[in-house]
Structure 1
Amino acid sequence: MTSISRRDFVRGAASIPLSLWLMKRLGAQPARVRYDARSSKGVEMLRIYAGAVKAMQGLPETDPSNWTFQWYTHFVKNSTSKSAEVQRVFGSGSSPHKALAEAMWNTCQAHSGQNENLFLPWHRMYVLYFEDIIRAVSKRDDFTLPYWNYSASGPTHGVLPPQFLDPADPVFGPLYVAERNPLANNGKPIDEGQPNDPLGLQALSQAQYSPQGAVQGFCLALDSGLHGNIHVLTGNTVNMGRVPWAARDPIFWLHHCNIDRLWASWNANGGVNPQEAWGDDTFVFADAKGEKVTAKVSDYFDIAKLGYSYERLEPKPRTMLSAKAAARKPRRLSRVTAATGVALGAKPVRVQLEAAAPAVPAQNSESLPLIRAVSALQPDQRLLLVLSKLSTQGQPAVLYHVYLELPEKENPKGGEYHVGTISFFDAEHLDHGSGGAHVMPEDKFYSFDVTDLLGRLSKSRTLSEKPSVTLVPAGEAAGDARPVVGSIELLQQ
């Protein structure tokens, strides 16, 4: 095995090939397996994890293996600022670990205006180095981080592993956090009472990694959908439900281990990671020795090369949209015309979509009347309801369910008019350490396939040229959050 001295490794962290670093870390041993948290091996790993969490919480805050140091890599809590916390922990002097904190903290990608494509690789890096730290702290080189399979069918669907629920447990107590939602800490499904299934795996049906036209692509669909839903349903606004606090909860890491597993599943099912310029982007992390490692995004696309695998991957679903169709330019059919967007709150909000432009019979026109567009739809074309430009002054702390053409007397509890779910988890104005406020970028959006619904309504002659969209909070939304959906459009692609 190639030997790299600590001094040489630190000096060349930005240039040493990942293969050499992995050889140093893993040697010639086979890939480690990450287990379902509910399996016997997963419970064994949770036992190690709980002890390491307690130990990390007791380390000096200046130590990169300290629990708060790792939490702050995702985001510093929003009751203070990065600069204030760096000053509080390290003082005014200089030190290698202070420089490391300044390079690492507040670097969570895609949650404050960065490139959405970096969401998956940045969090893969984050989990990988965190897992190494757990091994070092626990002195268990066989440790692997378990995953929380909240989408599993049956009685465990949406239920936290029991090891996270008892603060008095002498072994697993460190995994309990009081600031979760009652359903989570009471061992009940976090989606109890929610219409349809906000914990579903619809993102796996995306054919492309990145957005194309009105099609979200896998990364964005997973991030804004299942990922954000889990955060909002699991924790309150000083816990998983708010970006700056999310990594404080030990369940955060099992959540993101599962998100990484779903990415690996998508790849195993034929999904191809793009080779774009952003693959050369680099981020700084601390390794198990507390030393700086500079990681290049494209080096983290293949888990086999990173030395780990998963106990189980998800099977391939039916593809929602062909790559050919995704590449088409979308055609706007109708939209909300309010210049200030749609303000949401504690009660359902109903808005009407207006025609995007006068009806034009030419096939190359930018828009078509809705009913004609539905009847003329080709087999590989889709109709998509797109919600974008989300913003909020605070976390509403609930999901909002989206309905299309819901009859006014219909009870909004799922049913055929329910098209999907949105959250404002990453739509809050936050300072990501650069001194400015960020909001969800315009190219980040929700996209719901409403082709079948509009087809049924067209056949029954109940489809309006000005269809309604109804947004319903699933629970009691925070009164001071003031969430806004900036744009709602119906597109053909």
Structure 2
Amino acid sequence: MSWWFLAAIHGTHPLVWHEFGLVDANEQRPPEAVQQRVWNQCQHQSWYFLPWHRGYLVSFERIARAAVVAAGGPTNWAVPYWDYSDATRPDSRVLPSVFADPTLPDGSPNPLNVERRYGDGRTPIVLDERMVSLRALADTEFAGGTADIPPGFGGPRTLFHHGTEGPSTFGTLETLPHNVLHTVLGGSAPGQDPDDWRNLGLMTMPITAALDPIFWLHHANIDRVWEVWRRENPDISEPGWLDGPADRSFVVPTPEGGEWIFTAREMLDTAALGYYYDSLPIEVPVEEIPPADEVPVPRDEGRRRIEERATARGRAAVDASGQPELVGASDIDIVVHGMTDTPVRVDGSRMRSFQRDAARRTAPAAPPRVFLKLEGIRGPSDAAVYYVYVDVPSDEDPEERPDRLAGTVSLFGVSEASDPDGAHLGSGISQVLEISDIVDAGALEADASALDVRFVPANDTVARAEFSVGRVSIYVLE
């Protein structure tokens, strides 16, 4: 039940933890059988991403609450969440001061302010609005489709998937804001080589992320966003998800020192797990509801706008179980180092047909969907965060063309996935971004034989991190 053991459940690495001065190499470790059963469990690039992290979060909260109560604190203590996507509050994208202040009010060191939380090198850490987008809420399918098209809100169908069990891609919520927040908060040491893991922040890598206390507030918010999505979409009903994974159990500690084995099915009712969110419709006994002046006003304006956009495009009527059609791809590996452009050859006749269909479309007919897939991303640094734009004219600043922003990508986990001796065998990771709105808006020329994809680094520090993309592809799903 120690801070270090709980963090190791998400991910650990003896060499990295020792190099960072987190643990002594001679310190006694749990028995190997315990490490194998409980440590290095975090589910990434998988449809288990959300339920596993919910169970992990509940385990941490219960253990921490027991410690708080034992110290004389409130019996209803709960993990806070950081709503960094709240557009109604100007300070929502600023790292909370309780994590940024170097000292506590009494002058003692602030344990919530960790040294290895670099951000982009500036103080305070401020997030760009492109890093906290909730575009994922427009997805209506939880699980990914064929060839990860679409990637699904919750991620692709997998067995137990620690992110190292073979190539896969991320669900839309995991892509943004989950992965991006990890990388931009952890960052890399200013002025140092971001391709060297010794210079990376704790949140930047899965093997150290849960050592930073901001991890828990970030994941409480990701869990809350999942609950927002569930209010508008049906729960997944596939037994393989509900009762899985079949190849390895999810197991976390209890405050009593025992083990709790859980499945995804048990993660669908937060009330049964002992908590609810104050910014969602409250479904608890009346006597437990705080006084009216203490109940926060729901902050769902961003969600409302996303719903309106998705409804207007008829997206909810699209069947994600169809076969995606490959209509374009790049020729060779693309090396990305700072702002980088790459052409992607497209089937002009297919794109013209798609655009004619879009022009003739009338509501409520569901339009085809178009996806940009970045396949086989490899590199040594998890610190890179890039904005991806489509067909921005060479003489225009992409910052001035938000209508052509395909999305924000983070390379969270890429170094381990690029290791030729690892479980991935160096296959890297993939990212899928939907560009239907860009195509719908007529951003692509009807007679184009290629479209331009531009990678724009989020800041000067990550621009020094080099990575490659095996192929950039365009898929259409009807």
Tell me whether the two structures share a fold, i.e. TM-score over 0.5.
Answer: yes
Amino acid at match of 1:228: N
Residues 295, 457 of structure 1: CA spacing in aligned structure 2 closer, same or farther, 3 A cutoff?
Answer: closer
- 1:181 paired to 2:118: yes
Residue 162 of structure 1: aligned partner: 97
Decide which structure has the larger Cα Rg and report it: 1
- 1:210 paired to 2:143: yes
Moved more, 316-325 or 203-212: 316-325
| RMSD of equivalent CA atoms | 3.1
- 1:470 paired to 2:475: no
Deviation of 1:204 after TM superposition, in Å, equals 0.8
Residue 250 of structure 2: aligned partner: 283
SS across alignment from 1:73: helix
Deviation of 1:411 after TM superposition, in Å, equals 1.5
Gaps of at least 5 residues in structure 2 are 155-170, 188-199, 281-299
Residues 185, 175 of structure 1: CA spacing in aligned structure 2 closer, same or farther, 3 A cutoff?
Answer: farther
Residues 491, 303 of structure 1: CA spacing in aligned structure 2 closer, same or farther, 3 A cutoff?
Answer: same
Deviation of 1:451 after TM superposition, in Å, equals 3.8
Residue 227 of structure 2: aligned partner: 264
Answer whether contact 1:86 1:102 (CA < 8 A) is retained: no
Residue 226 of structure 1: aligned partner: 177
Residues 106, 88 of structure 1: CA spacing in aligned structure 2 closer, same or farther, 3 A cutoff?
Answer: farther
Answer whether contact 1:393 1:429 (CA < 8 A) is retained: no
- 1:253 paired to 2:187: no
Residue 270 of structure 2: aligned partner: 303
Deviation of 1:469 after TM superposition, in Å, equals 1.1
Amino acid at match of 2:406: V
- 1:424 paired to 2:361: no
Answer whether contact 2:120 2:459 (CA < 8 A) is retained: no
Deviation of 1:477 after TM superposition, in Å, equals 5.0
Deviation of 1:199 after TM superposition, in Å, equals 0.6
- 1:190 paired to 2:127: yes
Residue 327 of structure 2: aligned partner: 333
- 1:200 paired to 2:133: yes
In 1, the alpha carbon distance for the partners of 2:55 and 2:240 equals 18
Match of residue 133, structure 1, among 49, 63, 73? 63
Amino acid at match of 1:207: T
String of CA shifts for 1:188-243, please: whole Å, max 9, x gaps: 4222xxxx622111111100101124222212100012101111111132311121
Deviation of 1:184 after TM superposition, in Å, equals 8.4
In 2, the alpha carbon distance for the partners of 1:184 and 1:299 equals 41
Residue 398 of structure 1: aligned partner: 384
Residue 485 of structure 1: aligned partner: 469
String of CA shifts for 1:298-357, please: whole Å, max 9, x gaps: 21122122121101134554236225332332222211122xx32211x2221112235x
In 2, the alpha carbon distance for the partners of 1:388 and 1:353 equals 11
Deviation of 1:178 after TM superposition, in Å, equals 2.0
In 1, the alpha carbon distance for the partners of 2:236 and 2:121 equals 34
Gaps of at least 5 residues in structure 1 are 1-64, 360-367
Residue 58 of structure 1: aligned partner: none
Answer whether contact 1:349 1:472 (CA < 8 A) is retained: yes
Answer whether contact 2:334 2:470 (CA < 8 A) is retained: yes
Deviation of 1:78 after TM superposition, in Å, equals 6.7
Residue 90 of structure 1: aligned partner: 28
Q: Which runs of 4 or more aligned residues in structure 1 lie more than 6 Å from their structure 2 counterparts after TM superposition?
A: none
In 2, the alpha carbon distance for the partners of 1:121 and 1:343 equals 35
Amino acid at match of 2:253: A
Residue 197 of structure 2: aligned partner: none
Residues 150, 189 of structure 1: CA spacing in aligned structure 2 closer, same or farther, 3 A cutoff?
Answer: same
Structure 1 segment 1-150 matched on structure 2, within 5 A: 65-77=1-13, 79-80=15-16, 88-90=26-28, 99-110=33-44, 116-139=46-69, 140-150=74-84
Moved more, 174-183 or 256-265: 174-183
Answer whether contact 1:86 1:101 (CA < 8 A) is retained: no
Answer whether contact 1:146 1:254 (CA < 8 A) is retained: yes
Residue 191 of structure 2: aligned partner: none
SS across alignment from 1:376: helix
SS across alignment from 1:175: coil
Residue 369 of structure 1: aligned partner: 350
Answer whether contact 1:147 1:257 (CA < 8 A) is retained: yes
Residues 172, 290 of structure 1: CA spacing in aligned structure 2 closer, same or farther, 3 A cutoff?
Answer: farther
In 2, the alpha carbon distance for the partners of 1:107 and 1:189 equals 30
Deviation of 1:146 after TM superposition, in Å, equals 0.7
String of CA shifts for 1:158-197, please: whole Å, max 9, x gaps: 1122211122114881211122235688334222xxxx62
User: TM-score normalized by structure 2?
Assistant: 0.75
Answer whether contact 2:136 2:153 (CA < 8 A) is retained: yes
Residue 44 of structure 1: aligned partner: none
Answer whether contact 1:330 1:491 (CA < 8 A) is retained: yes
Percent of paired sites with the same residue? 24
Amino acid at match of 2:341: R
